[in-house]
Structure 1
């Protein structure tokens, strides 16, 4: 799993950098069109995460105490993902752009996927979500760095989102550890 995680982070980071197309801090002025495109990919990532977490929470519920705890955690992450999507959409609007919630392109623009795993065991579900959170943290940190001083408000937003996602990853790790897996 570690090798595929490294490959995914590399691929996703490469795609994010392709979209950004400039090294951090090199442009003296923010390219609003490019920034809006990058932020719309973040909206897609958060909406896809909300969908994945919501589905996984419903699938996890109804079991024993650990399944109930997992479902509650997954629901909390889903709700946070939707709040993140709205916050980023508001930033896009503040930059003069139009938030893109187009369901036809969400999956292609997201930094993580919405796959239904063959193994629907709770441990596999939690591990898959942990992997997605790690990818998102790495990508959001790259995006924050890319904004740099050109757009400190967007940079602060991305740093805040990355911190939230890092806490989500820690909560998933703790839950996985409590399961003894």
Structure 2
């Protein structure tokens, strides 16, 4: 008795290109946001403005720590603070650009920035306290951004990927701060 050969049903990928073309011509004012956008755009814009504030506060904190770092071990630590400040500013710029792509306005106003930011602005008075405050802020950003990535899911894969990239950088920053803390004991 011959056994029937099983072939897996092959799914073919087909697009209704005419329908896509028709939809693309509608709502041109929405720019990159098409009918297929699956997230709550206003919620995403609010979330991104909070992330923007977080990055700006972190930039300012790292800048202050760079200028205030003193002591025998200060030079390499200050260099790390300067590098992180530049990276946080780059994250802020990327987030602001995405906000605009989604049809929003990035909120750079200093009024309310600390309320919008997940991280805090703590100056620190010693090299060790500065490192600790930066580590705390990075850990806050890591948990906040991880939650954002989970919220975005498949609804907005472009923003999710951006936040995943920034999350990876924040994890690296936290690791750097933890290493500095170990070296300064």
**With structure 1 as the length reference, what TM-score do the two structures score?**
0.80
| Alignment equivalent of 2:117, drawn from 84, 90, 110 | 110
**Structure 1 position 179, deviation (Å):** 1.4
Distance 1:131 1:116 in 2: 12
**Structure 1 position 36, deviation (Å):** 0.5
Which ranges in structure 2 are unaligned for 5 or more consecutive residues? 1-36
| Alignment equivalent of 2:100, drawn from 93, 98, 113 | 93
Greater than 3 Å deviation, 4+ residue runs = none
**With structure 2 as the length reference, what TM-score do the two structures score?**
0.78
**Greater CA radius of gyration, 1 or 2?**
2
- The answer to which of 99-108 and 28-37 deviates more is 28-37
**CA contact 2:91–2:166 (8 Å) conserved in 1:** yes
Which residue in the other structure is 2:173 paired with? 168
Distance 1:100 1:121 in 2: 32
Which residue in the other structure is 2:15 paired with? none
Higher relative contact order (CA 8 A, sep 6+): 1
> More helix per residue: 1 or 2?
1
Distance 1:154 1:112 in 2: 20
